[in-house]
Amino acid sequence: MPGRSRAELLLELADDELILGWRNSEWTGIAPFLEEDVAFSSIAQNEIGHARALYELAARELGTDADALAFDRDADAYRSAPLVELRRLEWARTIARHWLYETADSIRLEALKASSDPEIAGIAAKMDREETYHRIHAEMWIDRLLASEDGRARLDEALAELWPYALGVLDDELRPELRRRIEDKLDRAMPDVEPVPRGRHEAELVELLGEMNAVRRSGPAGAQW
Amino acid sequence: MSALTPATVLDALSEIPDPEIPVVSIVELGVVKDVRVAGGRVEVDFTPTFMGCPALDAMQRAMRERIESLGAEAEIRVVLDDSWSTDRITPAGRQKLRNAGFAPPAPRAAGAVTLVQLERGPFRCPWCGSTDTKLENVFGPTPCRSLRYCNDCRQPFEQFKTI
Protein backbone atom coordinates (compact mmCIF):
# COMPACT_ATOMS: atom_id res chain seq x y z
CA MET A 1 0.00 0.00 0.00
CA PRO A 2 1.91 3.04 -1.21
CA GLY A 3 2.13 6.52 0.28
CA ARG A 4 0.75 6.05 3.77
CA SER A 5 1.85 4.97 7.20
CA ARG A 6 0.63 1.81 8.91
CA ALA A 7 -1.63 3.82 11.24
CA GLU A 8 -3.08 5.68 8.26
CA LEU A 9 -3.81 2.41 6.48
CA LEU A 10 -5.54 1.03 9.59
CA LEU A 11 -7.62 4.19 9.92
CA GLU A 12 -8.59 4.02 6.27
CA LEU A 13 -9.90 0.48 6.69
CA ALA A 14 -11.53 1.24 10.04
CA ASP A 15 -13.23 4.42 8.80
CA ASP A 16 -14.64 2.62 5.75
CA GLU A 17 -16.06 -0.15 7.92
CA LEU A 18 -17.43 2.17 10.60
CA ILE A 19 -19.12 4.59 8.22
CA LEU A 20 -20.56 1.85 6.01
CA GLY A 21 -21.62 -0.04 9.13
CA TRP A 22 -23.52 3.06 10.20
CA ARG A 23 -25.10 3.44 6.76
CA ASN A 24 -26.14 -0.21 6.76
CA SER A 25 -27.67 0.18 10.21
CA GLU A 26 -29.91 2.92 8.85
CA TRP A 27 -32.00 0.10 7.33
CA THR A 28 -32.67 -1.42 10.73
CA GLY A 29 -36.42 -1.40 11.17
CA ILE A 30 -37.27 0.00 7.72
CA ALA A 31 -35.84 -2.46 5.16
CA PRO A 32 -38.31 -3.64 2.48
CA PHE A 33 -38.87 -6.88 4.40
CA LEU A 34 -37.89 -8.51 7.63
CA GLU A 35 -35.12 -10.75 6.25
CA GLU A 36 -33.33 -7.72 4.89
CA ASP A 37 -33.81 -5.85 8.11
CA VAL A 38 -31.99 -8.70 9.85
CA ALA A 39 -29.36 -8.99 7.10
CA PHE A 40 -28.38 -5.32 7.02
CA SER A 41 -28.38 -5.10 10.81
CA SER A 42 -26.13 -8.14 11.03
CA ILE A 43 -23.79 -6.86 8.32
CA ALA A 44 -23.61 -3.53 10.14
CA GLN A 45 -22.70 -5.33 13.36
CA ASN A 46 -19.87 -7.18 11.59
CA GLU A 47 -18.51 -4.03 9.94
CA ILE A 48 -18.53 -2.08 13.18
CA GLY A 49 -16.81 -5.03 14.90
CA HIS A 50 -14.08 -4.90 12.27
CA ALA A 51 -13.78 -1.14 12.71
CA ARG A 52 -13.37 -1.54 16.46
CA ALA A 53 -10.54 -4.06 16.15
CA LEU A 54 -8.80 -1.92 13.51
CA TYR A 55 -9.14 1.23 15.63
CA GLU A 56 -7.64 -0.65 18.58
CA LEU A 57 -4.57 -1.55 16.52
CA ALA A 58 -4.26 2.03 15.27
CA ALA A 59 -4.81 3.44 18.77
CA ARG A 60 -1.94 1.39 20.17
CA GLU A 61 0.33 2.94 17.61
CA LEU A 62 -1.00 6.48 18.03
CA GLY A 63 -1.16 6.43 21.83
CA THR A 64 -4.91 6.97 22.10
CA ASP A 65 -7.98 4.73 22.35
CA ALA A 66 -10.40 3.24 19.85
CA ASP A 67 -13.38 5.36 20.91
CA ALA A 68 -11.43 8.58 20.53
CA LEU A 69 -10.46 7.58 17.00
CA ALA A 70 -13.95 6.47 16.08
CA PHE A 71 -15.87 9.39 17.56
CA ASP A 72 -13.74 12.39 18.46
CA ARG A 73 -12.12 13.41 15.19
CA ASP A 74 -13.35 16.17 12.89
CA ALA A 75 -14.86 15.13 9.56
CA ASP A 76 -11.71 16.23 7.70
CA ALA A 77 -9.59 13.76 9.66
CA TYR A 78 -11.59 10.72 8.53
CA ARG A 79 -9.95 8.68 5.80
CA SER A 80 -13.09 6.94 4.57
CA ALA A 81 -13.85 6.57 0.88
CA PRO A 82 -16.67 8.84 -0.35
CA LEU A 83 -18.55 5.69 -1.51
CA VAL A 84 -19.38 4.70 2.06
CA GLU A 85 -20.37 8.22 3.08
CA LEU A 86 -23.27 8.63 0.67
CA ARG A 87 -26.69 8.40 2.20
CA ARG A 88 -28.79 6.53 -0.31
CA LEU A 89 -31.95 5.24 1.25
CA GLU A 90 -33.19 3.71 -1.95
CA TRP A 91 -32.99 -0.04 -2.33
CA ALA A 92 -31.27 -0.40 -5.73
CA ARG A 93 -28.65 2.18 -4.72
CA THR A 94 -28.10 0.46 -1.40
CA ILE A 95 -27.62 -2.90 -3.13
CA ALA A 96 -25.35 -1.37 -5.78
CA ARG A 97 -23.18 0.29 -3.14
CA HIS A 98 -23.15 -2.86 -1.02
CA TRP A 99 -21.99 -5.00 -3.95
CA LEU A 100 -19.41 -2.50 -5.22
CA TYR A 101 -17.96 -2.04 -1.74
CA GLU A 102 -17.87 -5.73 -0.85
CA THR A 103 -16.21 -6.54 -4.16
CA ALA A 104 -13.61 -3.79 -3.72
CA ASP A 105 -13.10 -4.78 -0.09
CA SER A 106 -12.51 -8.38 -1.09
CA ILE A 107 -9.74 -7.33 -3.50
CA ARG A 108 -8.20 -5.13 -0.83
CA LEU A 109 -8.34 -7.89 1.80
CA GLU A 110 -6.70 -10.38 -0.54
CA ALA A 111 -3.82 -7.93 -0.98
CA LEU A 112 -3.57 -7.31 2.77
CA LYS A 113 -3.58 -11.03 3.58
CA ALA A 114 -0.27 -11.20 1.73
CA SER A 115 1.19 -8.35 3.82
CA SER A 116 4.59 -8.90 5.43
CA ASP A 117 3.15 -7.34 8.61
CA PRO A 118 1.72 -10.32 10.53
CA GLU A 119 -0.87 -8.25 12.42
CA ILE A 120 -2.23 -6.73 9.23
CA ALA A 121 -2.22 -10.08 7.41
CA GLY A 122 -3.89 -11.76 10.41
CA ILE A 123 -6.72 -9.27 10.87
CA ALA A 124 -7.35 -9.22 7.10
CA ALA A 125 -7.66 -13.01 7.06
CA LYS A 126 -10.08 -12.93 9.97
CA MET A 127 -12.22 -10.18 8.45
CA ASP A 128 -12.30 -11.98 5.12
CA ARG A 129 -13.94 -15.07 6.68
CA GLU A 130 -16.92 -12.92 7.73
CA GLU A 131 -16.96 -10.78 4.60
CA THR A 132 -17.58 -13.93 2.55
CA TYR A 133 -21.17 -13.85 3.80
CA HIS A 134 -21.57 -10.18 2.89
CA ARG A 135 -20.44 -10.96 -0.65
CA ILE A 136 -22.85 -13.87 -0.92
CA HIS A 137 -25.67 -11.62 0.20
CA ALA A 138 -24.72 -8.81 -2.21
CA GLU A 139 -24.37 -11.13 -5.19
CA MET A 140 -27.67 -12.83 -4.43
CA TRP A 141 -29.32 -9.43 -4.66
CA ILE A 142 -27.50 -8.47 -7.85
CA ASP A 143 -28.80 -11.68 -9.44
CA ARG A 144 -32.27 -10.84 -8.25
CA LEU A 145 -32.17 -7.30 -9.67
CA LEU A 146 -30.67 -8.47 -12.95
CA ALA A 147 -33.48 -10.99 -13.37
CA SER A 148 -36.16 -8.36 -14.15
CA GLU A 149 -36.23 -5.48 -16.57
CA ASP A 150 -37.25 -3.01 -13.90
CA GLY A 151 -34.61 -4.30 -11.48
CA ARG A 152 -31.88 -4.11 -14.10
CA ALA A 153 -32.83 -0.55 -15.07
CA ARG A 154 -32.72 0.60 -11.46
CA LEU A 155 -29.45 -1.19 -10.83
CA ASP A 156 -27.87 0.28 -13.97
CA GLU A 157 -28.85 3.77 -12.92
CA ALA A 158 -27.37 3.26 -9.45
CA LEU A 159 -24.18 1.72 -10.85
CA ALA A 160 -23.71 4.63 -13.25
CA GLU A 161 -23.81 7.01 -10.31
CA LEU A 162 -21.63 4.93 -7.97
CA TRP A 163 -18.98 3.45 -10.27
CA PRO A 164 -16.52 6.41 -9.96
CA TYR A 165 -16.95 6.19 -6.19
CA ALA A 166 -16.28 2.44 -6.18
CA LEU A 167 -12.98 2.91 -8.04
CA GLY A 168 -12.01 5.46 -5.38
CA VAL A 169 -12.10 2.82 -2.62
CA LEU A 170 -8.98 1.15 -4.00
CA ASP A 171 -5.42 2.14 -4.76
CA ASP A 172 -4.57 2.59 -8.45
CA GLU A 173 -3.02 -0.82 -8.90
CA LEU A 174 -6.06 -2.70 -7.59
CA ARG A 175 -8.65 -0.88 -9.72
CA PRO A 176 -8.29 -3.04 -12.85
CA GLU A 177 -9.26 -6.11 -10.81
CA LEU A 178 -12.41 -4.35 -9.56
CA ARG A 179 -13.32 -3.48 -13.13
CA ARG A 180 -12.74 -7.08 -14.20
CA ARG A 181 -14.98 -8.55 -11.49
CA ILE A 182 -17.81 -6.06 -11.98
CA GLU A 183 -17.74 -6.40 -15.77
CA ASP A 184 -17.67 -10.21 -15.50
CA LYS A 185 -20.78 -10.27 -13.37
CA LEU A 186 -22.70 -7.73 -15.45
CA ASP A 187 -21.40 -9.07 -18.74
CA ARG A 188 -20.85 -5.56 -20.07
CA ALA A 189 -18.11 -2.93 -20.05
CA MET A 190 -18.04 -0.26 -17.37
CA PRO A 191 -17.20 3.29 -18.53
CA ASP A 192 -13.79 4.88 -18.16
CA VAL A 193 -14.29 7.51 -15.52
CA GLU A 194 -12.28 9.59 -13.12
CA PRO A 195 -12.35 7.88 -9.68
CA VAL A 196 -13.74 9.84 -6.72
CA PRO A 197 -10.71 9.64 -4.42
CA ARG A 198 -10.31 9.43 -0.68
CA GLY A 199 -9.47 12.65 1.08
CA ARG A 200 -12.45 14.59 -0.12
CA HIS A 201 -15.66 14.10 1.79
CA GLU A 202 -19.31 14.10 0.97
CA ALA A 203 -21.49 16.60 2.82
CA GLU A 204 -23.42 13.65 4.21
CA LEU A 205 -20.40 12.65 6.33
CA VAL A 206 -20.68 15.74 8.53
CA GLU A 207 -24.36 15.02 9.04
CA LEU A 208 -23.63 11.36 9.85
CA LEU A 209 -20.94 12.25 12.39
CA GLY A 210 -23.24 14.74 14.07
CA GLU A 211 -25.81 12.03 14.57
CA MET A 212 -23.36 9.25 15.46
CA ASN A 213 -21.46 11.31 18.02
CA ALA A 214 -24.38 13.15 19.58
CA VAL A 215 -24.69 10.89 22.62
CA ARG A 216 -20.96 10.80 23.31
CA ARG A 217 -20.72 14.58 23.01
CA SER A 218 -23.67 15.11 25.30
CA GLY A 219 -21.87 13.34 28.17
CA PRO A 220 -19.33 14.99 30.46
CA ALA A 221 -15.68 14.56 29.55
CA GLY A 222 -14.40 11.19 30.70
CA ALA A 223 -17.86 9.62 30.94
CA GLN A 224 -17.74 5.81 30.89
CA TRP A 225 -20.19 4.09 28.55
CA MET B 1 -3.54 -25.47 47.08
CA SER B 2 -1.49 -27.27 44.45
CA ALA B 3 0.37 -25.19 41.89
CA LEU B 4 -1.55 -24.11 38.83
CA THR B 5 -0.85 -25.86 35.56
CA PRO B 6 -2.25 -25.06 32.11
CA ALA B 7 -4.51 -28.12 32.48
CA THR B 8 -6.05 -26.97 35.77
CA VAL B 9 -6.59 -23.49 34.34
CA LEU B 10 -8.27 -24.97 31.28
CA ASP B 11 -10.51 -27.06 33.55
CA ALA B 12 -11.54 -23.89 35.37
CA LEU B 13 -12.19 -22.03 32.11
CA SER B 14 -14.33 -24.98 30.96
CA GLU B 15 -16.88 -23.95 33.56
CA ILE B 16 -17.50 -20.60 31.82
CA PRO B 17 -20.62 -20.72 29.66
CA ASP B 18 -20.83 -18.87 26.37
CA PRO B 19 -22.64 -15.63 27.30
CA GLU B 20 -25.16 -15.93 24.46
CA ILE B 21 -25.55 -19.70 24.11
CA PRO B 22 -24.90 -20.92 27.65
CA VAL B 23 -25.36 -24.61 26.77
CA VAL B 24 -21.75 -24.62 25.52
CA SER B 25 -18.64 -23.49 27.37
CA ILE B 26 -16.12 -21.12 25.90
CA VAL B 27 -13.61 -24.00 25.85
CA GLU B 28 -16.02 -26.13 23.82
CA LEU B 29 -16.39 -23.15 21.51
CA GLY B 30 -12.65 -23.40 20.89
CA VAL B 31 -11.79 -19.79 21.66
CA VAL B 32 -9.12 -20.61 24.26
CA LYS B 33 -6.15 -21.20 22.00
CA ASP B 34 -3.40 -21.50 24.56
CA VAL B 35 -2.81 -21.22 28.30
CA ARG B 36 0.59 -20.50 29.82
CA VAL B 37 1.38 -20.45 33.52
CA ALA B 38 4.46 -18.71 34.91
CA GLY B 39 4.55 -18.46 38.69
CA GLY B 40 1.45 -16.59 39.82
CA ARG B 41 0.66 -15.37 36.37
CA VAL B 42 -1.62 -16.94 33.76
CA GLU B 43 -1.63 -15.91 30.13
CA VAL B 44 -4.49 -16.93 27.88
CA ASP B 45 -4.46 -16.62 24.10
CA PHE B 46 -8.05 -15.84 23.20
CA THR B 47 -9.27 -16.13 19.60
CA PRO B 48 -12.54 -14.21 19.17
CA THR B 49 -15.35 -15.75 17.15
CA PHE B 50 -17.08 -13.06 15.09
CA MET B 51 -15.38 -9.70 15.55
CA GLY B 52 -18.65 -7.85 16.11
CA CYS B 53 -19.96 -10.37 18.64
CA PRO B 54 -21.05 -8.43 21.74
CA ALA B 55 -20.22 -11.43 23.94
CA LEU B 56 -16.45 -11.06 23.40
CA ASP B 57 -15.97 -8.57 26.24
CA ALA B 58 -18.04 -10.69 28.61
CA MET B 59 -15.97 -13.78 27.75
CA GLN B 60 -12.72 -11.98 28.51
CA ARG B 61 -14.08 -10.57 31.75
CA ALA B 62 -15.30 -14.01 32.86
CA MET B 63 -11.93 -15.60 32.10
CA ARG B 64 -10.09 -12.90 34.01
CA GLU B 65 -12.35 -13.28 37.04
CA ARG B 66 -12.11 -17.07 37.00
CA ILE B 67 -8.29 -16.98 36.86
CA GLU B 68 -8.14 -14.39 39.62
CA SER B 69 -10.37 -16.62 41.74
CA LEU B 70 -7.61 -19.24 41.44
CA GLY B 71 -5.29 -16.72 43.08
CA ALA B 72 -3.37 -15.85 39.92
CA GLU B 73 -2.88 -12.72 37.91
CA ALA B 74 -4.57 -12.94 34.49
CA GLU B 75 -3.55 -11.65 31.14
CA ILE B 76 -5.92 -12.25 28.23
CA ARG B 77 -4.16 -11.79 24.92
CA VAL B 78 -6.57 -11.29 22.02
CA VAL B 79 -5.29 -13.05 18.91
CA LEU B 80 -6.72 -11.43 15.78
CA ASP B 81 -5.97 -13.81 12.96
CA ASP B 82 -7.85 -16.62 11.26
CA SER B 83 -6.71 -19.35 13.65
CA TRP B 84 -10.24 -19.64 15.05
CA SER B 85 -12.74 -21.20 12.74
CA THR B 86 -16.00 -23.00 13.43
CA ASP B 87 -13.99 -26.22 13.02
CA ARG B 88 -12.55 -25.43 16.47
CA ILE B 89 -15.90 -26.15 18.15
CA THR B 90 -15.40 -29.49 19.90
CA PRO B 91 -17.51 -32.62 19.19
CA ALA B 92 -19.10 -32.33 22.66
CA GLY B 93 -19.87 -28.67 21.96
CA ARG B 94 -21.52 -29.59 18.66
CA GLN B 95 -23.71 -32.19 20.32
CA LYS B 96 -24.81 -29.70 22.99
CA LEU B 97 -25.68 -27.13 20.34
CA ARG B 98 -27.74 -29.71 18.46
CA ASN B 99 -29.57 -30.71 21.65
CA ALA B 100 -30.46 -27.07 22.23
CA GLY B 101 -31.93 -26.73 18.72
CA PHE B 102 -28.99 -25.05 16.97
CA ALA B 103 -27.61 -26.86 13.95
CA PRO B 104 -23.83 -26.94 14.39
CA PRO B 105 -21.65 -25.49 11.63
CA ALA B 106 -20.74 -27.64 8.67
CA PRO B 107 -17.02 -28.43 8.39
CA ARG B 108 -14.97 -25.90 6.47
CA ALA B 109 -14.35 -26.89 2.89
CA ALA B 110 -11.40 -25.81 0.78
CA GLY B 111 -12.11 -22.30 -0.43
CA ALA B 112 -14.74 -19.82 0.70
CA VAL B 113 -18.36 -20.75 1.34
CA THR B 114 -20.67 -20.17 -1.64
CA LEU B 115 -24.37 -19.45 -1.95
CA VAL B 116 -24.80 -22.69 -3.90
CA GLN B 117 -23.41 -24.65 -0.93
CA LEU B 118 -25.77 -22.84 1.46
CA GLU B 119 -28.75 -23.49 -0.81
CA ARG B 120 -27.97 -27.06 -1.86
CA GLY B 121 -25.82 -28.44 0.96
CA PRO B 122 -27.13 -31.26 3.20
CA PHE B 123 -27.96 -29.16 6.27
CA ARG B 124 -29.64 -31.27 8.92
CA CYS B 125 -32.62 -30.15 10.96
CA PRO B 126 -31.69 -30.30 14.67
CA TRP B 127 -35.29 -31.17 15.58
CA CYS B 128 -36.12 -34.14 13.32
CA GLY B 129 -32.82 -34.94 11.60
CA SER B 130 -34.15 -34.42 8.07
CA THR B 131 -31.82 -32.92 5.48
CA ASP B 132 -34.77 -31.60 3.47
CA THR B 133 -34.18 -28.07 4.70
CA LYS B 134 -33.91 -24.73 2.96
CA LEU B 135 -32.05 -21.50 3.49
CA GLU B 136 -34.37 -18.73 4.69
CA ASN B 137 -31.79 -16.04 5.35
CA VAL B 138 -27.99 -16.00 5.24
CA PHE B 139 -28.19 -13.77 8.32
CA GLY B 140 -29.88 -14.47 11.63
CA PRO B 141 -30.38 -13.12 15.13
CA THR B 142 -26.63 -12.96 15.84
CA PRO B 143 -23.62 -12.69 13.50
CA CYS B 144 -22.81 -16.41 13.90
CA ARG B 145 -26.14 -17.79 12.71
CA SER B 146 -28.24 -18.21 9.56
CA LEU B 147 -31.92 -19.07 9.40
CA ARG B 148 -33.15 -22.30 7.81
CA TYR B 149 -36.50 -24.05 7.56
CA CYS B 150 -37.19 -27.78 7.72
CA ASN B 151 -39.60 -28.94 5.01
CA ASP B 152 -40.29 -32.18 6.90
CA CYS B 153 -41.17 -31.09 10.43
CA ARG B 154 -41.98 -27.54 9.30
CA GLN B 155 -39.91 -25.88 11.95
CA PRO B 156 -37.56 -22.97 11.42
CA PHE B 157 -34.13 -23.44 12.97
CA GLU B 158 -30.87 -21.61 13.44
CA GLN B 159 -27.83 -22.87 11.58
CA PHE B 160 -24.34 -21.88 12.69
CA LYS B 161 -22.44 -20.27 9.88
CA THR B 162 -19.23 -21.95 8.85
CA ILE B 163 -16.30 -19.56 8.99
pLDDT at A217 over 90: no
CA A169, distance to chain mean position in Å, is 8
Q: Which pLDDT score is estimated for B2?
A: 66
Residue B81 in contact with partner chain A when CB distance is under 8 A: yes
Q: Mutate which of A41, A45, A140 to test chain B, going by most B C-beta atoms within 10 A?
A: A45
Q: Which pLDDT score is estimated for A225?
A: 64
CA A22, distance to chain mean position in Å, is 10
Question: pLDDT band at residue A2, thresholds of 50, 70 and 90?
Answer: low
The residue ranges of DSSP E strands in chain B, in sequence order, are 32-38, 41-46, 73-78, 102-103, 133-137, 145-150, 156-160
pLDDT at B162 over 90: yes
A-chain residues near B160 (CB < 8 A): none
pLDDT at A86 over 60: yes
Q: Which residue of B51, B80, B138 is in closest CB contact with A136?
A: B138
Q: Once rounded to an integer, what is the mean pLDDT over residues A167-171? A: 97
Q: Once rounded to an integer, what is the mean pLDDT over residues B79-102? A: 95
Q: Which pLDDT score is estimated for B112?
A: 84
3-state SS class at B137: strand
Q: How far apart are CA B111 and CA A47, in angstroms?
A: 22
Residue B140 in contact with partner chain A when CB distance is under 8 A: yes
Task: Read off the DSSP letter of residue B101.
Answer: T
Model confidence over B23-42: pLDDT tens digits? 999 999 999 999 999 989 99
Number of H helices, E strands in chain B: 4, 7
Q: Which residue of B80, B112, B143 is in closest CB contact with A42?
A: B143
Model confidence over A92-135: pLDDT tens digits? 999 999 999 999 999 999 999 999 999 999 999 999 999 999 99
Are B122 and B111 a contacting pair, CB within 8 Å?
no
Contact across the interface for A53 and B140, Cβ inside 8 Å: no
Are B19 and B59 a contacting pair, CB within 8 Å?
yes
Are B86 and B163 a contacting pair, CB within 8 Å?
yes
Q: Which residue of B51, B85, B115 is in closest CB contact with A49?
A: B51
pLDDT at A174 over 90: yes
Percent of chain A having pLDDT more than 70?
Answer: 98
Q: How far apart are CA A179 and CA A182, in angstroms?
A: 5
Question: In whole angstroms, how far apart are CA A192 and each of A99, A142, A176?
Answer: 19, 22, 11
Q: Which residues, listed in sequence order, are joined to residue B78 by a DSSP beta bridge?
A: B46
CA B32, distance to chain mean position in Å, is 10
Residue A123 in contact with partner chain B when CB distance is under 8 A: yes
Residue B37 — φ and ψ, nearest 5°? -120, 130
3-state SS class at A88: coil
Q: What is the ipTM of this complex?
A: 0.91
Are A38 and A27 a contacting pair, CB within 8 Å?
no
Question: pLDDT band at residue A180, thresholds of 50, 70 and 90?
Answer: very high
Q: How far apart are CA B72 and CA B80, in angstroms?
A: 25
Model confidence over A137-153: pLDDT tens digits? 999 999 999 999 999 99
Q: Which residues, listed in sequence order, are joined to residue A148 by a DSSP beta bridge?
A: none
Q: How far apart are CA A200 and CA B136, in angstroms?
A: 40
Residue B85 in contact with partner chain A when CB distance is under 8 A: yes
Q: How would CATH label the architecture of A6-218?
A: Up-down Bundle (1.20)
Residue B149 in contact with partner chain A when CB distance is under 8 A: no
- pTM equals 0.94
Residue A48 in contact with partner chain B when CB distance is under 8 A: yes
Contact across the interface for A38 and B141, Cβ inside 8 Å: yes
Show me where the domains of chain B are located. 6-78, 100-160
B6-78 belongs to CATH 3.30.300.130? yes
What chain B residue is nearest to A143 in terms of C-alpha separation?
B115
Contact across the interface for B115 and A122, Cβ inside 8 Å: no
- The shortest C-alpha distance from B157 to chain A (Å) reads 14
Q: Once rounded to an integer, what is the mean pLDDT over residues B77-97? A: 95
Percent of chain B having pLDDT more than 70?
Answer: 99
Model confidence over A193-206: pLDDT tens digits? 999 999 889 899 99
Q: Which residues, listed in sequence order, are joined to residue B133 by a DSSP beta bridge?
A: B150
